[in-house]
Amino acid sequence: MTIDDVSPLERWVDALNRKVELGEGLEFSAVQLARQLNEPDIASLTAFLAKLVALGSATEFTAYTCPMSSCRKTLPSGVDPVACPFCRVTFIEEGVTPTSEQFFRLTGEISRDIRWMVVIHGMNSRAPWQEAFSWEIANLLKYSAPVLIYKYGWATYEVLFPGIHRRMAKSLGRRIRIAIGRARAANLPDRPDVIAHSFGTRLFSLVLQDPEFADLRFGRVITAGSIIRPDFDWKRHFRDGRVEAVLNHVAAKDGAVPFAVWAIPGTGPGGKVGYMAQQVLNVRNLQYGHSSFFEDQHLPALIGENGLWRSFFTRPLKPLRDDGVFVQKDAWQPPARWRIITARAGGCIAIAAVVLASLWLLKLSLCW
Ligand SMILES: [Zn+2]
């Protein structure tokens, strides 16, 4: 179908829907819109816009336009039009009067700015992507606020002990609280957006659950390679206003997430099967593995113009679409306790065997 086969009405509807979807260019006069759409029939377009107002999809207001031919900008509303703030012409001095024009405003959500951001990485990821990633993200931020990349050192056997998780989460929560305090002091929004990966998702979930941090509120949250349980009570955190939105990015080829439930107490394969809470947006990528999100060949597509992550952070949520969106309807059950205990005991024996073998090899080499 070429553009000529589409009726003008369909074209207008598509163009306006796109504006609402992007949250951009929501205010315009009929003449401006006609110019944008290459539409010669301004009268019909004006009638169409009036119909939108009657239907409640748009509102109408009068705005003044700078009469200087070199400027013609729309003047800020609510101010007596005596001068143009753009070309700095005073109208009386120039002997001109600003022209008034009927404007329309689409009543869609407006796109938001990415605030400052907390990034919580996975275990032992000191990969070069972290620097490239924080640089890319910092370039997207509206405010020159830092990206807080939370580091928790070299975690190894610690992940086996829930008590240590909680201690690490406490340290993360306190660090975030300090950052929120600084944001407030600098008049920045006090709800950071969050990107959490792998073991970082576990720590973030513990911060949400910890009563000590009930005052911490977050903007939009992305979990990638998540080891949060699929039945995690996101609903409660939405209801309590702790999170504004959650995107769970699932990697279909994730080989690490399914093991988490066997090795790390309190976790589950959220990054493989999705979250069951209906408030969460689950998106599956069929090509990705556990850390693909941050690799050079994928990251630019995620946070670049129209990328999924960027769109999630900045655009109205309702129309957000991706081919990988899915709803996790099946109830998820953690494996039986005895199976987990058996698996962990087996794991411990294997680790002990490796340690003993290394010591033995070390002794051999020292003897030589
Ligand atoms: Zn002007």
Question: How far apart, in Å, are the Cα atoms of 178 and each of 28, 146, 213, 299?
Answer: 42, 13, 12, 29
CA atoms within 13 A on the CB side of 317: 12
In a domain, 58, yes or no: yes
User: Are 325 and 283 contacting, i.e. CB atoms less than 8 angstroms apart?
Assistant: yes
**Sheet-wide strand order for 245-251:** 147-150, 117-120, 193-197, 220-224, 245-251, 281-285, 325-326
Q: How far is the CA of 82 from the centre of ligand 1 (A)?
A: 11
Same domain, 159 and 54: no
Q: How far is the CA of 103 from the centre of ligand 1 (A)?
A: 18
Mean pLDDT along residues 41-62: 88
In a domain, 284, yes or no: yes
User: Among 55, 79, 106, which residue terminates a domain?
Assistant: 106
Same domain, 152 and 94: no
Same domain, 180 and 258: yes
In a domain, 24, yes or no: yes
In a domain, 360, yes or no: no
pLDDT given at position 8: 80
In a domain, 357, yes or no: no
Mean pLDDT along residues 26-33: 90
In a domain, 362, yes or no: no
User: Among 106, 131, 149, which residue terminates a domain?
Assistant: 106
Per-residue pLDDT tens over the stretch 245-283: 999 999 999 988 888 887 788 899 999 999 999 999 999
Cα separation, 120 vs 5, in Å, equals: 50
Q: Does 331 have pLDDT greater than 80? A: no
Q: What is the DSSP letter of 338?
A: H
Same domain, 86 and 196: no
Q: How far is the CA of 100 from the centre of ligand 1 (A)?
A: 14
Q: What is the CATH number of the domain that holds 235?
A: 3.40.50.1820
pLDDT given at position 247: 96
Cα separation, 24 vs 319, in Å, equals: 13
In a domain, 332, yes or no: yes
Q: Does 3 have pLDDT greater than 50? A: no
Count of structural domains, the chain: 2
Per-residue pLDDT tens over the stretch 288-317: 998 888 888 888 888 887 889 988 988 777
Same domain, 258 and 150: yes
pLDDT given at position 182: 87
Query: Phi first, then psi: what are they for 246, rounded to 5°?
Result: -130, 130
pLDDT given at position 335: 77
Q: How far is the CA of 88 from the centre of ligand 1 (A)?
A: 6
pLDDT given at position 155: 57
In the structure, ligand 1 is a single-atom ion and the residues with CB under 5 Å from it are 66, 68, 71, 84, 86-87
In the structure, what pLDDT confidence band is assigned to residue 1 with cuts at 50, 70 and 90?
very low
Per-residue pLDDT tens over the stretch 194-239: 999 888 999 999 999 999 999 999 999 999 999 999 999 999 999 9
Structural domain including 147 reads 117-343
In a domain, 359, yes or no: no
Same domain, 252 and 337: yes
Q: How far is the CA of 284 from the centre of ligand 1 (A)?
A: 49
Q: Name the β-bridge partners of 105.
A: 27, 59
Q: How far is the CA of 62 from the centre of ligand 1 (A)?
A: 17
Cα separation, 292 vs 295, in Å, equals: 5
Query: Phi first, then psi: what are they for 27, rounded to 5°?
Result: -110, 135
Same domain, 36 and 173: no
Q: pTM for the whole thing?
A: 0.69
Q: How far is the CA of 92 from the centre of ligand 1 (A)?
A: 13
Percentage of residues in the chain with pLDDT exceeding 90? 32
Q: Does 98 have pLDDT greater than 70? A: yes
Same domain, 125 and 163: yes
Same domain, 102 and 131: no
In the structure, what pLDDT confidence band is assigned to residue 37 with cuts at 50, 70 and 90?
very high
Same domain, 122 and 250: yes
pLDDT given at position 2: 41
Q: How far is the CA of 50 from the centre of ligand 1 (A)?
A: 28
Cα separation, 229 vs 175, in Å, equals: 24
Q: How far is the CA of 77 from the centre of ligand 1 (A)?
A: 14
User: Among 71, 106, 141, which residue terminates a domain?
Assistant: 106
Q: How far is the CA of 18 from the centre of ligand 1 (A)?
A: 29
Question: CA torsion sign, 37 to 42 to 44 to 45?
Answer: positive
Same domain, 139 and 101: no
Same domain, 96 and 130: no
Q: How would you class 41 by CB atoms within 10 Å of its CB: exposed for 0-12, middle for 13-18, buried for 19 or more? A: exposed
Q: Which of 213, 210, 217, 211 is nearest to 194 (CA)?
A: 217
